[in-house]
Amino acid sequence: MSVPPSSDPVPAGASRALKLPFDPIERAADTWRATFGPSSAMAAVTSIMRAHQILLGQLDALLKPYDLTFARYEALVLLTFSRTGALPLSKIGERLMVHPTSVTNTVDRLERAGLVRRMRNPRDGRGVLAEITGEGREMVRRATADLMGAGFCMGMYEEGDLDAMFDLLKTLRVAAGDFSL
């Protein structure tokens, strides 16, 4: 694992740096161990949850100039990846692994911004598709360039570390039933 360079900019509005003189999760793990027993799982879960907060704050800050959140960006990218540029709302929820209400809210916001449009599913006439617009495709192109330039806020890790992290978390996702190997 590499050490983050001091020149790496943190986007304005990103997760606030705590600058504590100790690691509060490590301290909690020590206390947990003395009080309850083994603390490795608690420390790992707490670290993952804190990493989620940090990354979401930094990614959302990078996407703020586009009036996007990371969730809306993911939906646009998913539509960009689809063969026709359109997907049923149920398929979007399934692929993004979110509740149907979240998909509806996300598509509502993207539609108001002119980045997607809703249309009846021509296959069955009942279902609703979200289709990315030309403006949405351009937004994905520009936002992706910024995210890639920032290394998706993971620039403090080397490529091998990122691959190992992905593999470790993949085990959790398989165990939860997200997919099977």
- Asked whether the predicted pLDDT for residue 70 surpasses 60, the reply is yes
Same domain flag for 42 and 72: no
Residue 149 falls within a domain, yes or no? no
Same domain flag for 83 and 115: yes
Same domain flag for 103 and 39: no
pLDDT tens-digit profile of 32-48?
999 999 999 999 999 99
State the residue range of the domain holding 93. Answer: 68-144
Residue 140 falls within a domain, yes or no? yes
Compute the mean pLDDT over every residue in the chain, rounded to the nearest whole number: 91
Same domain flag for 75 and 41: no
* Per-residue confidence (pLDDT) for residue 124, from 0 to 100: 81
Same domain flag for 79 and 98: yes
Same domain flag for 86 and 41: no
- Asked whether the predicted pLDDT for residue 108 surpasses 60, the reply is yes
Same domain flag for 76 and 139: yes
Using 50, 70 and 90 to split pLDDT, how confident is the model at 14? low
Residue 5 falls within a domain, yes or no? no
Residue 167 falls within a domain, yes or no? no
Residue 176 falls within a domain, yes or no? no
- The Cα 128–Cα 131 span in angstroms is 10
Residue 42 falls within a domain, yes or no? yes
Same domain flag for 87 and 125: yes
* Per-residue confidence (pLDDT) for residue 5, from 0 to 100: 40
The residue ranking higher by pLDDT, 41 or 3, is 41
Intra-chain end-to-end CA distance of the chain, in Å: 28
Q: Could you tell me the CATH number of the domain that includes residue 112? A: 1.10.10.10
Residue 150 falls within a domain, yes or no? no
**Count: domains in the chain:** 2
Same domain flag for 59 and 74: no
Same domain flag for 44 and 74: no
Q: pTM score, two decimals?
A: 0.85
